[in-house]
Amino acid sequence: MDATDTAAAIDSFIRYLEGERNLSPHTVAAYRTDLEQFAEFCRRLGGEMPVADTQAVRRFLAQLTTREYARASVARKASSIRAFFRYQVRRKVRQDNPASQVVTPKRGRRLPTVLKDAHVEALLSLPPSDDPFGLRDRAILELLYACGFRVGELVGLDVGSIDAHRRQVRVLGKGRKERLVPIGEPALAAVRAYLEDGRPEIVREGSPPAAMFYNRRGKRMGPRDVRAMVANYVREVIPGGKASPHTFRHTFATHLLEEGADLRAVQELLGHVDLRTTQIYTQVSRERMRKAYDESHPRA
């Protein structure tokens, strides 16, 4: 077996992820990166990845730990390797999964960052209303906070995704699963203003006609465009602070739970498959309440 065989094995697995598993391009790219890194490590040991043994997997993960990779990164790479060999066993390419018995470090569970109410209000009011890109930016920020979208879900929106009459947005989430998310009046008003006065000024000849949001080149906005835009506004409101589009998603979920929303309802709104993923936000709320008590109560 040589490097060509290894590359073919990885390509076969990637096609499986893209087809049968229907994973997002970002997730598929992460799998490929992890497997190619492990394959290179196996070559340095004098072998090829598809015939690697348990010792090679352990040595690879140990090296990552020695190089001070984050525990979450090590766990993800171990999961990628485990999934690859599980696929190989299913296809009867080999009889065992050498990664199945390898213990990986537990991921550290950091509480997500949540924006303060005052920061949310400042960020939503910052984009100028007399500029088409300002109208676009305000619509994006409002949707991120009002609907809790992932950035990939936001940039995938089309004009027809929003039903103003029913006040809901049809969004395509992970695994291409579709869900309907309610939209509040402030966000809907920002979207209307953008569609009426902003988008017609931004669209160009050759622009994808259905896309909701365009960048300055008239192309559909990508995740990088949105992250850069959010970072620019955050620097104005929170000097030295960091917040991403996903921070708005964390804030959306936390604020809902703090106001008494049912956990399963929040799970549906976020598009989480596992309720345990949503439960992290209950910890955020408890931490915020404890901090408020410590800062405000005279006998805290």
Give the sheet arrangement for strand 178-182, strand by strand.
162-163, 168-172, 178-182
Whether 291 sits among the annotated catalytic residues: the reply is: no
**What's the chain's Rg over C-alpha atoms?**
23
CB burial of residue 12 (10 Å; 0-12, 13-18, 19+): middle
94 annotated active-site: no
Q: Are residues 264 and 142 in the same domain?
A: yes
Q: Which of 76, 136, 199, 249 is catalytic?
A: 249
CA distances from 6 to 57, 86, 88, 182 (A): 16, 16, 12, 47
Of 76, 150, 250, 255, which residue is the catalytic one?
Answer: 150
Question: Active site residue: 174, 179, 227, 288, which one?
Answer: 174
Greatest Cα pair distance in the chain? 71
Q: Does residue 274 form part of some domain?
A: yes
| pLDDT for position 71 | 83
- List the catalytic residue out of 272, 276, 286, 288: 272
Catalytic residue among 21, 32, 58, 246: 246
Domain that holds residue 85: 3-90
- Measured CA distances, 15 to 82, 87, 236 (Å): 17, 12, 43
77 found inside a domain: yes
* Residues 121 and 253 reside in one and the same domain: yes
For 13, 52, 61, 220, the CA distances from 56, given in Å and listed in that order, are 20, 6, 9, 43
**Residue 49 domain-assigned?**
yes
Contacts with 44 (C-beta within 8 Å, 6 or more apart), sequence order: none
Nearest to 280 by CA among 248, 246, 257: 257
Classify residue 106: in a domain, yes or no: no
- Annotation says 119 is catalytic: no
In a 10 Å sphere around its CB, with 0-12 CB exposed, 13-18 middle and 19+ buried, how is residue 30 labelled? middle
**What pLDDT is attached to residue 20?**
77
Q: Considering the entire predicted model, what is its pTM? A: 0.66
pLDDT of residue 72: 83
Q: Is residue 96 part of a domain?
A: no
Same-domain status, 146 and 274: yes
- CATH code, domain carrying 142: 1.10.443.10
Residue 271 · residue 261 · CB < 8 Å: no
The answer to the question of residue 105 being in a domain is: no
Clarify whether 281 is annotated catalytic: yes
Per-residue pLDDT of the chain (300 residues; tens, 9 = 90+): 666 889 999 999 999 988 877 777 888 999 999 999 999 999 999 999 999 999 999 999 989 988 888 888 888 999 999 999 999 999 999 999 999 888 776 665 667 888 989 999 999 999 999 999 999 999 999 999 999 999 999 999 999 999 999 999 999 988 788 899 999 999 999 999 999 999 999 999 999 999 999 999 999 999 999 999 999 999 999 888 789 999 999 999 999 988 888 888 989 999 898 888 888 888 777 777 677 667 765 664
Q: Secondary structure of 96-110 in the HEC alphabet?
A: CCCCCCCCCCCCCCC
Note the pLDDT of residue 293.
62
Same domain for 237 and 174: yes
Q: What is the pLDDT of residue 236?
A: 92
pLDDT, residue 127, reads: 97
- Whether residue 170 sits in one domain with residue 83: no
We report the CATH number of the domain holding residue 51 as 1.10.150.130
**Tally of domains in the chain:** 2
